[in-house]
């Protein structure tokens, strides 16, 4: 998981001029107490303490928490700070949605769906998605989670497996493929029975086949479950040409999922995820940002800092390969029908007694501890205004431009205005420090 792909994405977004249509925020670094809303405190504390230098002293804990050599979760310099920022970005997005400050929030640095309560897994250390959903649940009776990464969204499913307040829907490759879970028959338990949905797929699925199952399933989920907010994980390893993935989706197919989910007009948190062909990851998330903004962009990649990566054609869109689609129409239809049947048996959206709204996540912590953790170079305003980054001058002049803040709170956009928050910007700054040190 190369943090460099986030910098490339952000750079391409800027080159296309999309920052003019968005509000861009610097995420707050999530604190240990916030992470411990889901994760075991000893696991969080260990992540905080761990460095490449001291890791040899903690062989037992490394094994216990699935970190370090011999795992797919390497220890690298700045690991905890990296977790703090991508997690803070997703929590911030959820809070802005909760307060009606934005209609759509994007954190391309987030979406690390494999992390478990006490265990890192598949390049995922802290599960920002679970934490963001917990935040959304303070204001919404039901939250829908949709996962289009090629891998099963196991960490999120596991966290909400026994509740009907979160429905998880994952489309993924299944069968001799990481993480191995996500069978059709795994559909939740107890009160959560039928509220976990898994659509197992095979190699080579193309746009047309994917749409033929994605749209009817999501339509039915929306009709039956009636969520108050939606979290969409847009892992880009389901694209054609991915180094780990084996699907054959183009940007248009992948982006059509985003467009379809957006069409329901619900508060929407859009997150990144996997993606191991970095030039295609940045293409994908840039295109999907344009879809979310209803702002068509040219197929010609504009000049940017990483322009040479996009050769030889310098085009945004991808062409599907001629790989064989191992998903026969009849099989897809059978799985689809089975899921629709199961959804039919959920007659009504479950209601919950909403009690007093708990405080926002990072207000749980005392202000002093939060202040300690803040970078003294980053000036902050009141939390509502928080880490808004100046749009006019950002990134084009000297390095200090990003740190400007606006003294007045921004006028709150109405629920009907187009307004998208992205936290990719500042995370990519941090990510650059880690470049080349993680896998
Ligand atoms: Zn993945």
Do 326 and 253 contact (CB within 8 A), yes or no? no
Q: Is 429 a residue whose pLDDT tops 70?
A: no
Binned at pLDDT 50, 70 and 90, residue 421 comes out as: low
* CB contact set of 297 (below 8 Å; sequence gap of 6+): 16, 18, 286, 287, 290, 316
pLDDT at residue 351, as a whole number: 80
Ligand 1 centroid vs 409 CA: distance in angstroms? 38
* Stretch 276-283: mean pLDDT: 97
Do 168 and 160 contact (CB within 8 A), yes or no? yes
Ligand 1 centroid vs 303 CA: distance in angstroms? 29
How far is C-alpha 70 from the chain's CA centre?
A: 26
pLDDT at residue 137, as a whole number: 98
Distance CA 432, CA 2 (A): 10
What residue spans define the domains of the chain? 4-406+413-433
pLDDT at residue 430, as a whole number: 26
Distance CA 145, CA 123 (A): 20
Burial of 239 (0-12, 13-18, 19+ CB in 10 A): buried
Q: For residue 421, how many other CB atoms are within 10 A of its CB?
A: 24
DSSP SS3 for 377: coil
Q: Determine which of 4-18, 241-255, 288-302, 384-398 has the lowest per-residue pLDDT on average.
A: 384-398
Which of 340, 354, 352 lies closest to 163 in space, CA to CA? 352
Residues with CB in 5 Å of ion ligand 1:
149, 151, 235, 237, 274
Count of alpha carbons within 13 Å of 84, Cβ hemisphere only? Answer: 20
Instruction: Give the tens place of pLDDT for each residue, 12-46.
Output: 999 999 999 999 999 999 999 999 999 999 999 99
Could you tell me the two tokens for 49?
Answer: 């303490």
Ligand 1 centroid vs 151 CA: distance in angstroms? 4
pLDDT at residue 356, as a whole number: 73
- Catalytic-role residue among 28, 114, 140, 254: 114
Distance CA 207, CA 227 (A): 26
Do 29 and 81 contact (CB within 8 A), yes or no? yes
Instruction: Give the tens place of pLDDT for each residue, 333-382.
Output: 999 999 999 999 997 778 877 667 788 876 554 444 444 444 433 333 33
* Stretch 58-78: mean pLDDT: 96
Ligand 1 centroid vs 411 CA: distance in angstroms? 38
Do 252 and 208 contact (CB within 8 A), yes or no? no
How large a percentage of the chain has pLDDT more than 70?
A: 81
Binned at pLDDT 50, 70 and 90, residue 3 comes out as: confident
* Stretch 61-75: mean pLDDT: 96
Could you tell me the two tokens for 72?
Answer: 């797919």
pTM over 0.75: yes
CATH architecture, range 4-406+413-433: 3-Layer(aba) Sandwich (3.40)
Strands of 122-210, DSSP E: 143-147, 166-173, 196-201
Indicate the DSSP class of residue 303.
P
Ligand 1 centroid vs 277 CA: distance in angstroms? 12
Ligand 1 centroid vs 384 CA: distance in angstroms? 33
pLDDT at residue 256, as a whole number: 98
Q: Is 60 a catalytic residue?
A: no
Instruction: Give the tens place of pLDDT for each residue, 108-165.
Output: 999 999 999 999 999 999 999 999 999 999 999 999 999 999 999 999 999 999 999 9
pLDDT at residue 420, as a whole number: 54
Ligand 1 centroid vs 152 CA: distance in angstroms? 7
Ligand 1 centroid vs 71 CA: distance in angstroms? 16
Q: What is the mean pLDDT of the chain?
A: 86
């Amino acid at each position: 998981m190369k943090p460099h792909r986030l910098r490339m994405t952000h750079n391409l977004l800027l080159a296309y001029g999309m920052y003019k249509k968005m509000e861009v925020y610097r995420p707050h670094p999530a604190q240990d107490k916030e992470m411990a809303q889901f994760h075991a405190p000893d696991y969080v504390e260990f992540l905080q303490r761990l460095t490449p230098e001291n890791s040899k002293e903690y062989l037992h804990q490394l094994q216990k928490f699935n970190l370090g050599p011999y795992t797919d979760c390497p220890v690298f310099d700045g690991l905890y700070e990296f977790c703090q920022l991508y997690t803070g970005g997703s929590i911030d997005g959820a809070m802005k949605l909760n307060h009606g400050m934005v209609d759509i929030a994007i954190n391309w640095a987030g979406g690390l769906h494999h992390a478990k309560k006490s265990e890192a897994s598949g390049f995922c250390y802290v599960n920002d998605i679970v934490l963001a959903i917990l935040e959304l649940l303070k204001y919404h009776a039901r939250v829908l989670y949709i996962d289009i990464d090629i891998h099963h969204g196991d960490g999120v499913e596991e966290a909400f497996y026994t509740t009907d307040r979160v429905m998880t829907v994952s489309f993924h490759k299944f069968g001799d493929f990481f993480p191995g879970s996500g069978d059709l028959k795994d559909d939740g338990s107890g009160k959560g029975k039928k509220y976990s949905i898994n659509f197992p797929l095979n190699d080579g699925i193309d746009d047309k086949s994917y749409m033929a199952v994605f749209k009817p399933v999501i339509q039915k989920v929306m009709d039956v479950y009636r969520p108050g907010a939606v979290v969409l994980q847009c892992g880009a390893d389901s694209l054609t040409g991915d180094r780990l993935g084996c699907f054959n989706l183009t940007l248009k197919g992948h982006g059509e999922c985003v467009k379809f989910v957006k069409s329901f007009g619900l508060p929407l948190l859009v997150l990144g995820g996997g993606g191991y062909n970095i030039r295609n990851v940045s293409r994908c998330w840039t295109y999907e940002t344009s879809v979310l903004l209803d702002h068509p962009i040219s197929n010609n990649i504009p000049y940017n800092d990483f322009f040479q990566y996009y050769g030889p054609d310098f085009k945004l869109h991808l062409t599907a390969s001629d790989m064989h689609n191992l998903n026969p129409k009849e099989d897809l239809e059978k799985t689809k029908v089975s899921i629709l049947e199961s959804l039919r048996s959920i007659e009504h959206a479950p209601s919950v007694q909403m009690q007093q709204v708990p405080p926002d996540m990072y207000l749980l912590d005392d202000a002093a501890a939060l202040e300690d953790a803040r970078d003294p170079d980053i000036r902050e305003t009141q939390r509502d205004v928080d880490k808004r980054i100046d749009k006019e001058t950002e990134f084009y002049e000297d390095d200090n431009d990003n740190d400007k803040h606006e003294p007045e709170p921004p006028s709150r956009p109405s629920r009907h205005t187009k307004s998208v928050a992205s936290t990719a910007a500042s995370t990519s700054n941090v990510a650059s420090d880690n470049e080349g040190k993680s896998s």
